[in-house]
Amino acid sequence: MSQTPKHLAVVGATGAVGIEILKCLEQRDFPVSELTLLASARSAGKKLTFRGQEIEVKELTPDSFEGIDVALFSAGGGISKEFAPHAVKAGAVVVDNSSAFRMDEGVPLVVPEINPDDVSSNNGIIANPNCTTIVTLMALNPMHEAFGGVKSIIASSYQAVSGSGAQGIAELEGQVDCLAKGEPLPELSVYPCQIAFNVIPQVDVFQENGYTKEEMKMHFEGQKILHAPELKASVTCVRVPVFRSHAVAVTAVFNDKPSVAAAREAVSSAIGVRVVDDPFASPPQFPTPLDCTDGDDCLVGRIREDLVLDNALTFWVVGDQVRKGAALNAVQIAELL
């Protein structure tokens, strides 16, 4: 990575991902010459600490990007569509965390451990993939490379409420508190039904084919990131009463016959992912969301031969969706730049 200091902007700096981006920049010693923090008018004037200094948050406007080298956007698709073109026009490269540009022709969709060379083909905007896609592909890609390419995926995700932002966490906390006290539940505001001590098989809105937008992201984004246009994915995304970090159960079919031992070796040799997989230890070893929260690596376990499909493995992967699924991946893309 170049050590030439860069003038960075963080759009959506006061949100959960924005704050995590600041942590990643600091922890990874990113060469920052100047840092501009941008957010909505209601957040303007707040101060955030970076490398021991307080920096005042400014209101995001079309004129916010003069002199900016790299702009890390994490404020939603609508904001990205409105303001990313202004950043590019001003000479900045945008790394966007929203879904606004992911499937656009000419916009690279990048996981740095998987397809770093795609960064060089950008026209001013680079897209960060969906968090569940990132976590899944971090485990899948080493096997994809080891076994002649992946043909299809069947997956179920178990997604933390922080994927819905601070409101999702607050709703789960409020419901648990009321249930513990024997009080009526507060009015639902984030989820269509009770999330406390429950699971909800709907993340995002339903499409005409019966899948949700979130479920289709792994299908289309997986094709683009892996450069595998024939890849098919059938996914069920489920919201679970966990505060942070997503988990995904995956069955993947490969062109070549895989083995559990070779899969463990391939994943163990990859960057950014670790194997935690010893079912016969006491207690058995497998990863859980708590094990990866606030960590950079995705953790993989329960690797086994599938009993139904030929040339298939079934495995379990967990990853911090706020960190590797969003903030860290964006900072890693900035490092590639």
SS (H, E, C) the chain: CCCCCEEEEEECCCCHHHHHHHHHHHHCCCCEEEEEEEECCCCCCCEEEECCEEEECEECCCCCCCCCCEEEECCCHHHHHHHHHHHHHCCCEEEECCCCCCCCCCCCECCCCCCHHHHHHCCCEEECCCHHHHHHHHHHHHHHHHCCCEEEEEEEEEECHHHHCHHHHHHHHHHHHHHHHCCCCCCCCCCCCCCCCCCECCCCCECCCCCEHHHHHHHHHHHHHHCCCCCEEEEEEEECCCCCCEEEEEEEEECCCCCHHHHHHHHHHCCCEEECCECCCCCCECCCHHHHCCCCCEEEEEEEECCCCCCEEEEEEEECCCHHHHHHHHHHHHHHC
**Rounded to whole angstroms, how far apart are CA atoms 71 and 134?**
21
Catalytic residue (one of 131, 237, 292, 298): 131
Known catalytic residue at 193: no
Q: How far is CA 327 from the centre of its chain?
A: 8
Would you state the torsion angle of the CA atoms of residues 67, 79, 2, 5, taken in this order, to the nearest 10 degrees?
40
Q: Please tell me the distance from the alpha carbon of residue 303 to that of residue 279, in angstroms, as a whole number.
A: 10
Q: Is 237 a catalytic residue?
A: no
Active-site annotation holder among 24, 86, 246, 298: 246
Catalytic residues: 131, 246
